[in-house]
Amino acid sequence: MPDTNATVTATYSRRMRLLLDTGQEVGARIHGKKLKTVCADRVRAEPIPGEPDWLITEIGVRRNVLDRPDSRGNTEVLAANIDRLVIVAAGLPKPDWFVLDRYLCAAELMPAGALIVFNKSDHELPAGAADALAVYTALGYELLNTSATTGHNLAELGAMLGSSTALVVGQSGVGKSSIINIISDGAELRTSAVSNKTREGKHTTVNSIMLPTAAGGSIIDSPGVRDYAPVFRSQSEVQAGFIEIQTAATGCRFANCLHLREPDCAVKSGVERGKIAARRYESYRRAVVLAERAQKKYR
Ligand SMILES: Nc1nc2c(ncn2[C@@H]2O[C@H](COP(=O)(O)OP(=O)(O)O)[C@@H](O)[C@H]2O)c(=O)[nH]1
Ligand SMILES: [Mg+2]
Ligand SMILES: [Zn+2]
């Protein structure tokens, strides 16, 4: 493993921004199409003689990744080396709990500490949202109601994230960029203004960007990446990501129970007795169907 000397802090269509261990920020490129870096990647980079850009020669070992299918159904890594996965939802756009469940599942598998942020608390909670959110807190997930408009609980959010590297995900329009802009003290706006003026010209949209927080941490936004929630590779991955189903599964008659149609299934009886939320079980079933489809595709 070569020594790394920089961290990736932004990715554009073909270029990256690096924070060198010396504290200097530089633009960078990478050779070939095979190597692909993401925010929070540790890399080895060297200056290119006669050019302002540096060249990335190696990517360090990744502690974890968040990956998802891209528009072509291939797997795309969104970010690496993540401590906290901040999953944002709001009353508007209408919450898609299946998206939230899939991100929670991803957080368990990475692993990374999940934190659910329900934003736009300046608006009334939509019907059913309080009950849905109570299911997550009962499972032990941290939940924070915030408003990027009034600033409600954003200092608390910053304090909870502390010095960690946090990746912010969730449906488009829930307020991710607004929250990040406040937590990073406006760095987001400043940085996108800079990225628009890069030498490469007009079409250098930022895919992902990592910004420093006041508490000494880093927070990652992915404004140029469409939000596809994660898809898993197998039923066992899905089960491991739905923590209450994983726990209940020890009581099933068959060790390889899928909790779908099998007899003496402790998961299904848990749902019937109200021990497992029916909506979470429905997400589990849908995620298993997606996993089976993904397996066929990659086989
Ligand atoms: N009322 C209200 N609107 C918000 C809040 N946070 C963000 N918005 C608005 O929601 C829209 C989407 O916000 P944005 O940060 O771009 O969402 P993103 O797509 O998740 O990054 C914008 O019009 C924001 O001004 C909030 O807490 N309350
Ligand atoms: Mg955004
Ligand atoms: Zn079962």
CATH of the domain at 102: 3.40.50.300
- Same domain membership, residue 214 and residue 251: no
- Same domain membership, residue 139 and residue 26: no
Which residue's structure tokens are 């189903």? 245
Q: How far is the CA of 272 from the centre of ligand 2 (A)?
A: 39
Residue where one domain finishes, among candidates 59, 77, 92: 59
- Same domain membership, residue 82 and residue 200: yes
Residue where one domain finishes, among candidates 175, 195, 221: 221
pLDDT in the model for residue 199:
47
- Same domain membership, residue 79 and residue 53: no
DSSP SS3 for 12? strand
**Overall domain count for the chain:** 3
Residue where one domain finishes, among candidates 174, 190, 221: 221
Is 122 close to ligand 1, i.e. is its CB under 6 Å away? Answer: yes
User: Looking at the CA of 117, which ligand is closest?
Assistant: 1
- Same domain membership, residue 259 and residue 169: no
CATH number at residue 251: 1.10.40.50
In whole angstroms, give the CA distance from residue 222 to residue 177.
Answer: 9
Instruction: Compute CA distances 10 → 85, 134, 208, whole Å.
Output: 18, 36, 6
- Same domain membership, residue 81 and residue 210: yes
Between strands 25-30 and 16-20, the pairing is antiparallel
In a domain, 228, yes or no: no
Comparing CA positions, the residue from 228, 134, 141, 147 lying closest to residue 182 is 147
User: Looking at the CA of 247, which ligand is closest?
Assistant: 3
Whole-model pTM over 0.85: yes
* Ligand 1 atom 19 nearest Cα: 173
User: Looking at the CA of 124, which ligand is closest?
Assistant: 1
- Same domain membership, residue 39 and residue 15: yes
Q: How far is the CA of 120 from the centre of ligand 1 (A)?
A: 7
User: Looking at the CA of 284, which ligand is closest?
Assistant: 3
**What is the rounded (10 degree) CA torsion for 90, 96, 101, 106?**
-80
Q: How far is the CA of 261 from the centre of ligand 3 (A)?
A: 8
In whole angstroms, give the CA distance from residue 137 to residue 126.
Answer: 18
Residue ranges of the chain with pLDDT lower than 70?
A: 1-2, 71, 188-204, 298-299
Q: How far is the CA of 110 from the centre of ligand 1 (A)?
A: 27
Instruction: Compute CA distances 142 → 50, 153, 192, 219, 251, whole Å.
Output: 50, 13, 30, 18, 27
For residue 25, the cross-strand partners are 19
In a domain, 155, yes or no: yes
In a domain, 226, yes or no: no
- Same domain membership, residue 149 and residue 183: yes
Q: How far is the CA of 248 from the centre of ligand 2 (A)?
A: 37
* Ligand 1 atom 9 nearest Cα: 175
pLDDT in the model for residue 202:
44
Residue 55's domain comprises 6-59
**DSSP single-letter state for residue 255:** T
Contacts of 185 (CB under 8 A, 6+ apart): 213, 214
In a domain, 1, yes or no: no
Encoded tokens for 57: 């020669």
CATH number at residue 19: 2.40.50.140
In a domain, 260, yes or no: yes
pLDDT per residue as tens digits for the range 246-280: 999 999 999 999 999 999 999 999 999 999 999 99
In a domain, 128, yes or no: yes
- Same domain membership, residue 148 and residue 277: no
- Same domain membership, residue 149 and residue 93: yes
In a domain, 229, yes or no: no
- Same domain membership, residue 164 and residue 49: no
Q: How far is the CA of 235 from the centre of ligand 2 (A)?
A: 31
In a domain, 17, yes or no: yes
Best probe residue, ligand 1, of 177, 178, 188 (max atoms within 8 Å of C-beta): 178
Question: Residue 109 CB: number of other CB atoms within 10 A?
Answer: 17
Is 295 close to ligand 1, i.e. is its CB under 6 Å away? Answer: no
pLDDT in the model for residue 190:
56
Is 174 close to ligand 1, i.e. is its CB under 6 Å away? Answer: yes
pLDDT in the model for residue 217:
97
- Same domain membership, residue 96 and residue 242: no
